[in-house]
Amino acid sequence: MIDDFLYGTAGDTGPLAEVEEAVRAAAAAEILPRHRKLAAHEIIEKNGPHDLVTAADRLAEEHLTAALTKLLPGSVVVGEEAVHADPAVYDALGGDAPVWIVDPVDGTRQFVRGEAGFCTLVALAQHGEVHASWTYAPVLGEMAVAVRGRGATLNGVPIRAGAPAPGAVLTVATSHPDYTTDAQKRALLGLLTEGIDPRPCGSAGLEYLAVARGALDAIAFNWEYAWDHAAGLLLVAEAGGAHATLSGAPFRIAGGNDLPFTAARDTATVQRILAALRTGG
């Protein structure tokens, strides 16, 4: 069903462009008009000062839900805000229907501060496998698209993650400490070692894009909400990168992963990061 939607019977990629247009339209209608113009009542704390939701998040998700399910009848949406309202929505990731995984504003803190470092994330998955993804940073003017087995592009130009230079210090974006258990904090401390330069992450989607384009060596995250990772993991993989959880197994979008996990420019870097995390843990 998803293959027919993405490529048609003759390799038609028109639906890919239609999804891209839907993402751009949602940002234009609901996100950009509120950038640097949010009223106080449009910003709400969900689970603390680092977990915010705005009117832009909610309205953009509603916009995308209507547009994406119209493009692919029979599909469902797992969106960050819908799951916050009803956690049972997340169960669709384990069902049979095609699933649109949506983070309407990834990097809400940056969005609230009026910065450019936020994006909209959309991924299309079924039976636990991500088939396509869209990462759109509207203020930066960047649209990254990945299709399983067909590569990754940024603004229509193919991108490759490449590999770090031999002996180079690895730059690694890591989870915010507010969202870590004690065991995960210990694991992340393993990155404080010679040859690795960790820093707190910004928008997860933009960190994945940085890995996919070779501007960042790796990420090491310890939360597993699918809307933060599904799009980026496919983007990195299609750009030639790799990922693994702490146990060495692939990341599962439905959850139950051994955390932290890492995604990196190449398999060798994944193994270096995992070794450091295991030492810390």
Q: What distance in Å separates the CA atoms of residue 159 and residue 231, rounded to the nearest whole number?
A: 15
Alpha-carbon torsion 47, 110, 63, 59, what sign?
Answer: positive
Amino acid at 34: R
Alpha-carbon torsion 79, 84, 86, 88, what sign?
Answer: positive
3-state secondary structure of 150: coil
Is 266 labeled as ligand-binding?
no
Is 57 labeled as ligand-binding?
no
Helix axes 182-189, 267-280, angle to 10 degrees: 120
Is 103 labeled as ligand-binding?
yes
Which of 200, 278, 254 minimizes the C-alpha distance to 83?
254
Q: What distance in Å separates the CA atoms of residue 242 and residue 280, rounded to the nearest whole number?
A: 21
DSSP string, 112-164: HTT-S--EEEEEEEETTEEEEEEEEETTTTEEEEEETTTEEEETTEE-----P
Amino acid at 196: I
Is 182 labeled as ligand-binding?
no
Categorise residue 128: left if φ over 0, alpha if ψ from -120 to 50, beta otherwise. left
State the binding site. 80, 103, 106, 228
State the binding site for Mg(2+). 80, 103, 106, 228
